[in-house]
Amino acid sequence: MKVPTYLALICVALVMLFPFFYMFATACKDDAQLARSELLPEGRWHFENFAIAWQKEPFTRFLVNSTGVALATVTLTLLLASMGGFALAKYQFRGRKWIFVGLLATMMVPSQVTMIPNFLTCSRFFLLDSYAGLVLPVLPLAFGIFLMRQFIGSIPNTLMEAARIDGAGDFRIYAQMILPLCQPALVTLGIFTFMASWNNFLWPLIVLDTPGKYTLPVGILRFAQQYDIQYNYLMAVSLLSILPIAVLFLSFQRSFVQGVTVTGLSDR
């Protein structure tokens, strides 16, 4: 059984890795090598293409934008979702059930339905072409609150009661006891949110107008849509743009997998 299994797995791995390898090989070609459609550049590998391509458009600017937007999205999501999840998990109050059901209901509606009204809301409140407009409408709060509620629910109440007897207020219990205990859930939610924000395409495409505000996916696509696009430079820039996610993936593979397993709602 072992040999056929390995053969199958190696074939699959080659198919999965080939496009990335081809992207790298393409990025290292000059025009003549591109025109010969060879797999590997014959002669010299042009590693300098990465530096040249990066200068073709303000990609550093796009990188800063993508990073800023992703970090803001992650920070806001972690903060708001942990607060909301804490309230729903550890307090009895009027409307608790309805708030929870209402939040879950928003997860069922596809983003295409809310996209157009949100676009109009953003235009009314001057959020178009702004970072706030890029972040606020796509915060994955319903999912985040759901995840945090499940996790915080498993923290024993006795811990909270003990802290309360010691004179800790509600906010101190949240900030100094619940948050540190939630670290695994926060990492999972944070990585999932970062990935979703970094890769988000349709919403930034709709909201953004000024090239200086583009995030990487939009900037790369606009670069690709130029009339005389050079594929070696396009592949070089694309490869650089996926490096942050690749590094994150290699360091936190487990959290990525967990994030995806608990969501059931990826790809938005």
The least CB distance from residue 153 to another protein, in Å, is 14
C-alpha angle 18/44/30, rounded to 5°? 75
The least CB distance from residue 161 to another protein, in Å, is 14
Only segment of 45-53, 57-65, 67-75, 115-123 that touches another protein (CB under 8 A): 115-123
- In the region spanning residues 6 to 35, those forming contacts with another protein, defined by CB under 8 A, are 6, 8-9, 12-13, 15-17, 19-20, 22-23, 26, 34-35
Q: Are 249 and 256 in contact (CB under 8 A)?
A: yes
185 binds another protein (CB under 8 A): no
CA 66/CA 197 separation, integer angstroms: 8
Q: Which two tokens stand for residue 208?
A: 């953004």
CA 208/CA 92 separation, integer angstroms: 42
Fill in the per-residue mask, 133 to 172: x = in contact with another protein (CB under 8 A), - = not in contact.
---xxxx-xx--x------------------------x--
The least CB distance from residue 251 to another protein, in Å, is 12
- In the region spanning residues 219 to 238, those forming contacts with another protein, defined by CB under 8 A, are 220-221, 224, 231, 234-235, 238
190 binds another protein (CB under 8 A): no
186 binds another protein (CB under 8 A): no
116 binds another protein (CB under 8 A): yes
Q: Are 178 and 78 in contact (CB under 8 A)?
A: no
The least CB distance from residue 46 to another protein, in Å, is 16
| Interface with another protein (CB under 8 A), residue from 188, 199, 230, 255 | 199
The crossing angle, in degrees rounded to 10, of helices 96-108 and 141-153 is 130
C-alpha angle 111/267/188, rounded to 5°? 110
The least CB distance from residue 266 to another protein, in Å, is 6
* HEC per residue, 72-120: HHHHHHHHHHHHHHHHHHHCCCCCHHHHHHHHHHHHHCCHHHHHHHHHH
241 binds another protein (CB under 8 A): yes
| Between 6 and 47, CB nearer to another protein | 6
Helix, strand, coil percent values for the chain (each to nearest 5): 75, 0, 25
The least CB distance from residue 31 to another protein, in Å, is 10
